[in-house]
Amino acid sequence: MANEKGDEVVVMHDHDDDNNTENNDNNMETVTAGILFAALPKWFDAAIVGTLIFGGCCGNVFALEAIIKDEPAAGPLITFVQFVTVSLFTIPSFLSWSAGASSFFMKAPVIPLRSWTIYTLFFVTVNLLNNWAFAYHISVPLHIILRSGGPTASMIIGYWYNGRRYSRMQIFSVMLLTLGVVAAALADAKAQGKAISLSSGGDGDKPTLTFVTGFTILALAMLLSAFQGVYADRLYATHGNTHWREALLYSHMLSLPFFLPTYAQLSSQFRAFMSSPSMLADLHPAAAGSVPQDLIAGNALNNATMAVSHHVAASISSAISPSSMVAAAAAATPSSLTAHSGNLLAQTSNSFTNILSASTDAMQRDLLTTILNKTPSKIFYLIVNALTQYICIRGVYLLAAKSSSLTVTIVLNIRKLVSLLLSIYIFGNSLAAGVLIGAGFVFLGGALYGVGSARAKSNKMNSASATTELHYRHNQERGAKRAGMSSLFSVAKNNLSSSSLGMRETSPTRSRKVKV
């Protein structure tokens, strides 16, 4: 639309405002959908990792304590079964018929086997030491608390070998965590009547020596675990951090030959597990001790059979009783006979249906009872421990491939706090006041370290982005200067060429004399 002067005038109507509002809403929905589409995979991965770690590891601690409370020296057998289970679950994804028999029909690893062998030496040693400590009167709650001191060793090794620098909050949190570990260990030793002293001699020092040995084993395991984390960081930095499945397979499969020297010990421990009470006796010890097992197994089927027999007999007797037959004869018509026969068939069908359902339920109960009666309780807990260990370690390796070793340590500390609370609640473990205070320091230090690590990472990212922007501006300035210099040079060159051409055009023509 134009006014009197000929200028164009834009007239806004109400429906134009509505269109603009709808466009803005659509743009907001598009942006929101884009943000969710970008963030959901990360949230989904975090949820999977959290479920694997907290669900699998906490269930693993439950099964472990059910074994350790009666068999404290069963650490090597537990470790061996865990490694076999993880290897069997992981190896199918690495099989390849095209690889040939020379490579055992397995795909070539991305990371060399030599590197995995070094990593495996750390891995199997740490696991054997951690499970071996239970033989030296280290309880499961104290084991959880002491192993939570991993960030201390990780920080020391990271500073010495990787040259890493840590913030003041990280250093303070690790000091707090170390103080909590030492306080918990001393309080637990004192509560068990094993006050630590440096004197030697006498039988009274044997419990003290045993406890100190177990504590030393765990300290050595933490130190080796820190070296393992540093070595894993270097492997992932060199070959990429997407090979956690490969690490999961080779770290467990290559560890199996190291158990050959302990074959006699593993065999004796397995026989002890096989001779443990059955699951039925473990669940109902009073009933299992007073009632024969075959009677327990057959009661369900006998009761179901008797109930069905009474039901069928009542149905048949009511159908063929004299009174019912007289009444049926008195009212005998074709339609009534048809209805009566239909009712009889329906009752018979219902009776057989009840027989089948009762028999099926009885057989299922009988099968479950037989399995519980034949399965040793320690074998059951050993299988549960191995399966939950696979779930737990899968989550840990997935987390290790996406973050640093210290972040893994902090996440596992939180998981250990949950396991500690479950151990106290389910198994009735009582901890002294000093142990609880030390545990509070440990997990508070772990939380502070997590906050400090997040701040350090954020500051590092901000400084990196600022450095990148500074380099970009510097390159732009250098490019502009180069462009200006090149333009000046081209102008000067053009001027020089034009001036030389003008001189040629204006120069006088020299006449040459030619002699004839």
Q: What is the pLDDT of residues 354-399, one digit of tens each?
A: 665 666 666 666 777 777 788 888 999 999 999 998 898 888 877 8
Return phi, psi of residue 332, to 5°. -75, 105
In angstroms, rounded to a whole number, what is the distance separating the alpha carbons of residues 180 and 230? 24
Is 71:78 a contact under the CB 8 Å cutoff?
no
In angstroms, rounded to a whole number, what is the distance separating the alpha carbons of residues 224 and 235? 16
Q: What is the chain's mean pLDDT, rounded? A: 71
Alpha carbon 47 to chain centroid distance? 10
Kindly write down the DSSP assignment for every residue of 54-114, as one continuous string. Answer: IIIHHHHHHHHHHHHTT-TT-HHHHHHHHHHHHHHHHGGGGB-GGG-GGGTTBPPPSS-HH
Q: Which residues lie closer than 8 Å to 496 by C-beta, 6 or more apart?
A: none
Query: How crowded is the C-beta side of 143, counted as CA atoms within 13 Å?
Result: 25
DSSP one-letter code for 136: G
In angstroms, rounded to a whole number, what is the distance separating the alpha carbons of residues 431 and 188? 8
pTM above 0.75, yes or no: no
Return phi, psi of residue 92, to 5°. -60, -35
Is 8:2 a contact under the CB 8 Å cutoff?
yes
pLDDT digits (tens, 9 = 90+) for 168-193: 888 888 888 878 877 877 777 676 55
* CA end-to-end span of the chain: 90
CA distances in angstroms from 370 to 292, 376, 495, listed in the order given = 13, 12, 106
Tokens coding 365: 């109960």
In angstroms, rounded to a whole number, what is the distance separating the alpha carbons of residues 105 and 87? 15
Mean pLDDT of the region 289-313: 45
Q: Is 278 helix (H, G, I), strand (E, B) or coil?
A: strand
In angstroms, rounded to a whole number, what is the distance separating the alpha carbons of residues 398 and 379? 29
pLDDT of the residue at 83: 92
CA distances in angstroms from 7 to 12, 16, 281, 496, listed in the order given = 16, 21, 99, 52
In angstroms, rounded to a whole number, what is the distance separating the alpha carbons of residues 227 and 123? 10
pLDDT digits (tens, 9 = 90+) for 331-344: 444 454 445 555 55
- Which residue would you say has higher pLDDT here, 92 or 163? 92
- Which residue would you say has higher pLDDT here, 415 or 277? 277
Check whether 43 has a pLDDT greater than 70: no
Range name among 11-20, 52-61, 436-445 with the lowest pLDDT average = 11-20
Q: Which residues lie closer than 8 Å to 145 by C-beta, 6 or more apart?
A: 180, 181, 184, 185, 416, 420, 435, 438, 439, 442
- Which residue would you say has higher pLDDT here, 58 or 506? 58
The CA-based angle 59-401-417, given to 5 degrees, is 35
pLDDT of the residue at 372: 76
In angstroms, rounded to a whole number, what is the distance separating the alpha carbons of residues 82 and 88? 10
pLDDT of the residue at 85: 94
Region class of 389: left (phi > 0), else alpha (psi between -120 and 50), else beta: alpha
pLDDT digits (tens, 9 = 90+) for 51-110: 888 888 888 888 888 888 888 888 889 989 999 999 999 998 888 888 777 777 888 888
